[in-house]
Chains A and B, each alone.
Chain A
Amino acid sequence: QSALTQPASVSGSPGQSITISCTGTSSAVGSYNVVSWYQQHPGKAPKLMIYEGSKRPSGVSNRFSGSKSGNTASLTISGLQAEDEADYYCCSYAGSSTLVFGGGTKLTVL
């Protein structure tokens, strides 16, 4: 079970758009459209932002969107806001009833 690869950090100014990538293998990310994305503020529990690759749970802003191409999934946040500053993690099914997370990406809103 190798961790999914995410950039350690990304940054953007308010109002801009940013994209966080999540690269896996053909057995994780590539074979299944079940990537999910989580937002975590310091000292808080993770919050589901995207599930099943591109679906938003009720209550999550439509500024958040998910996509996938081959072995790489992406989370795009448009119209950046100060409250978007947080850590973001991707997660994928990895086969044989196992899941794997990415290493996490720290988003800084400049």
Chain B
Amino acid sequence: EVQLVESGGGLVQPGRSLRLSCAASGFTFDDYAMHWVRQAPGKGLEWVSGISWNSGNIGFADSVKGRFTISRDNAKNSLFLQMNSLRAEDTALYYCAKDISPLDTAMVSYGMDVWGQGTTVTVSS
């Protein structure tokens, strides 16, 4: 079964850091670009960051650029999101998502076909 399981969310004070993880199974992880997408309470989806299959292309939303980093460990079928200098507006449910097209080096993303159930990040003092 193709599956993504996020972990690492929690309550954190403004200005602190948190590292999210996403464990993948059921597919050849190192063939696909991966993404983090978040959804603030009662709001829409926001793409946060993406990384190509070979880590050669990485992108960030302007709202997190310079504060968040993304990485992957293909040997461990894992995706990570390091979040620093957290703000109240980063409070959201964070989803990990798999790209549908393999070996998309440019990471144009034709679509995200597998999603995890999300991990909740709450930034509050």
What residues of chain A have their CB less than 8 Å away from a CB belonging to chain B?
Answer: 1, 32, 34, 36, 38, 40, 45-48, 50-52, 55, 57, 87, 89, 91, 93, 96-104
Contacts and interface: CB of A to CB of B under 8 A. Distances in A.
Interface residues of B, number: 30
Contacts of B61: 1, 98
Contact of B45 (A38, A50, A57): A38
A89 B47 contact: no
Interface of B: 35, 37, 44-47, 50, 52, 57-62, 95, 97, 100-101, 106-113, 115-118
Task: Classify the secondary structure of A's interface with B.
Answer: strand
Nearest to B100: A51
Top 6 A-B residue pairs of the complex, sorted by shortest distance between their CB atoms:
A51-B111, A97-B59, A36-B111, A104-B44, A45-B115, A99-B47
